[in-house]
Amino acid sequence: MATSRDRPATARHSAVGADTHSDVGDEDIQHTSESALLTAGWRGMESSRPDALFHDPLAAGLAGERGLRIARTLPDGAWVVAIRTVLIDGFIGSAISSGIDTVINLGAGMDTRPYRMDLPAALHWVEVDHRSLIEGKDAQLSTEVPACSIERVGLDLADHVARREVFDRIWARSRERWSSRKGCSVPSTWTRPEA
Ligand SMILES: C[S@@+](CC[C@H](N)C(=O)[O-])C[C@H]1O[C@@H](n2cnc3c(N)ncnc32)[C@H](O)[C@@H]1O
């Protein structure tokens, strides 16, 4: 019978379920929240290049040795994430210029935009991810100072009732909002207010 070691070394880390088991060379991602270490590792790799497209000084630390090690086994992911990061930075900048007051980052992982982007202090930034990841990230970033206010919510976004409560609360206090949901194992409709 084929084992996980027999399958090709690919990271099926996006849009996967919480119990997904992905092979990444000698390392295994046991839970979808661990894919956040991989993307942080790729941002750390990009940040260390002499002509880096962006600098995320917190990425390598958040990825940890394991995240960096996994990222280095899949180097092609680094340029994909680098380009995606720059594009999304641009979208956020445009959205802020057009007047949004809230950013909702669903499946935020180890994203550190509130610490590395030039954001208005009045902006409210909401990060949603699995509770264990949110608690660990809170602890790791406790001494860092973000450019705007951050609210972190530990939640399984597949839980319709719980996410409805969170969205209602955020919707009630914001005028205009922008949301991102990269890599979440949830239906494609749920970023809409009625979802
Ligand atoms: C590939 S990572 C990307 C993280 C981040 N967006 C980035 O670009 O670095 C996917 C993230 O989505 C989160 N995620 C996936 N499904 C989720 C769910 N049902 N509820 C909460 N978070 C989820 C994972 O925990 C993980 O942090």
Distance (angstroms) between ligand 1 centre and the Cα of 135 equals 14
Q: Compute the average pLDDT of residues 19-29.
A: 53
145 CB neighbour count, 10 Å cutoff: 7
67 and 31, same domain (yes or no): yes
Average pLDDT value for the chain? 82
Bridge partners, residue 149, by sequence: 124
Alpha helices in 31-181 (DSSP H): 35-47, 59-73, 76-97, 113-116, 131-140, 160-173
Q: Please report the pLDDT score of residue 188 as a whole number.
A: 34
One domain, residues 73 and 111: no
Q: Which atom of ligand 1 is nearest to the CA of 31?
A: 25
Mean local confidence (pLDDT), 9-26: 39
Residue 177's pLDDT is: 64
Q: What is the pLDDT averaged over residues 132-139?
A: 97
Ligand 1, atom 16: closest residue by C-alpha? 184
Residue 68 lies in a domain: yes
**Residues found in the chain:** 195
Q: Domain containing 144: what range?
A: 99-180
Mean pLDDT (whole number) for 164-188: 70
Count of structural domains within the chain: 2
- Please give the Cα distance from 81 to 8 (Å, whole number): 21
